[in-house]
Amino acid sequence: MLKRSTTGKPLSTAQKRLWSAAQGTAFVAALAVIAGLIVYPDATLRLAWFGVVPLLPASFLVNAGFWRGVCPIATANTFAAPGSGRALRGSTLRVMLAAGMILLVVLIATRRLALNTEGPVLAGLLLAIVAAAFVLGRFYRSKAGFCNSLCPVLPVEKLYGQSPLIHVRNPRCVPCDLCSTKGCLDIDPVRAVTAETTPRLWMKTPFGLFSLSFPGIIMGYFLTADYPVAGVLDVSASIFGGGLASLLLLGSTMTVVSAAARVRLRVVTVLLGALSIGIYYWFAAPASIQAFGGAHTVGVIARTALLLLVLVWLLVALRRATKSKGSDVPGIA
Ligand code: SF4
């Protein structure tokens, strides 16, 4: 299956130019955001957390490849010559993927303690992430050292990008150089989330544990407030406590249901993705509108529109999950 992905049609010159321009623009925009976080922290924090970040989950439903094709961190990660460096496989890949999920949860909690309110701290973190992605890209092939392993955004891209509404090729992967031998989202979004064969096996994997915890983590995040660092216990109780409650509740439900009936793993992962992003937009859509001075009614309209998008995605993804035996990606069996 991996070999088949390397035989895709090359990008045309126009496509290459378009993607290069988009990648360059995104990289410059990221540098501007980092500078803005230091010089105009309040305005830039608002723009980043309430303007840009809330758009990303919806874009992952359409296709995570749009973001993955232009992401400035991925640009730093793939700066080295194509094909150079080691591919990532086996236990190293598994450990780095698990580390990325832990990093994501820690960063979500850190938002409440510093990253939502301290521009220079967020700027320093972003610079450190870009630097780490660049350095790891010198040792590991293409996206293997960060984008396809350690990046804390990757678990969210996988969960929401598992059944994309439209097809987009990642321009960094044409041709694919097999940088990560298992679970690459760009090769096959379905198999990126359903590497195990049954729900019972899957729920014990790091990604299974993450997917079951994530709805509660999101709810815990929105049900707490921004605190100074001294509020670490309140924030942890809400976010980690929410994650644990979600894991226990959804995990035990899944155990009972899968013991009583044959449930397709794809259906489970689709339902968990829709639940997580639905909770996210229930809170995030009105908060974003309010942050820019919009009326309450506009916030309700934005929430409704985004939840409708989630519903459309859910219906499409469930139809594929219950009917199709293979991948949603053309050319992948
Ligand atoms: S996984 Fe991380 S580095 Fe790769 S495209 Fe997503 S955000 Fe960027």
Distances (CA, A) of 161 to 182, 184, 262, 283: 16, 12, 25, 20
Token pair for residue 189?
A: 């979004």
Token pair for residue 212?
A: 């079951």
pLDDT of residue 1: 41
Token pair for residue 333?
A: 């069996």
Residues of the chain with pLDDT below 70 are 1-8, 196, 324-333
Give the burial class of 244: count Cβ atoms within 10 A of its Cβ; 0-12 exposed, 13-18 middle, 19 or more buried: middle
3-state helix, strand, coil split of the chain in percent (to 5) is 70, 0, 30
Q: What is the pLDDT of residues 95-112, one digit of tens each?
A: 999 999 999 999 999 999
Q: 53, 140, 154: which to mutate for ligand 1, most atoms within 8 A of CB?
A: 154
pLDDT of residue 325: 61
Q: What is the pLDDT of residues 295-330, one digit of tens each?
A: 999 999 999 999 999 999 999 999 999 986 655 544
CA pair distance 170, 187, nearest whole angstrom:
9
- Taking the centre of ligand 1 as the mean of its atom positions, its distance from the CA of residue 24, in whole angstroms, is 15
Question: Taking Cα atoms as reference points, which of 186, 192, 105, 180 lies closest to residue 149?
Answer: 180
Question: Taking Cα atoms as reference points, which of 64, 147, 153, 54 lies closest to residue 103?
Answer: 153
68 lines ligand 1 (CB under 6 A): yes
- Apex CA 325: angle with CA 308 and CA 265, to 5°? 65
151 lines ligand 1 (CB under 6 A): yes
pLDDT of residue 85: 87
Q: Which residues contact 41 (CB under 8 A, 6 or more apart)?
A: 118, 119, 120
CA pair distance 47, 77, nearest whole angstrom:
25
Kindly list the domain boundaries of the chain, sorted by start residue: 15-45+64-184
153 lines ligand 1 (CB under 6 A): yes
User: Is the distance from CB of 185 to CB of 172 less than 8 angstroms?
Assistant: no
Question: The pTM is what?
Answer: 0.92
CA pair distance 102, 242, nearest whole angstrom:
15
CA pair distance 3, 281, nearest whole angstrom:
38
pLDDT of residue 9: 81
pLDDT of residue 330: 44
pLDDT of residue 332: 41
Q: Residue 246 CA to chain centroid, in angstroms?
A: 19
pLDDT of residue 317: 97
pLDDT of residue 324: 62
pLDDT of residue 113: 98
CA pair distance 215, 160, nearest whole angstrom:
12
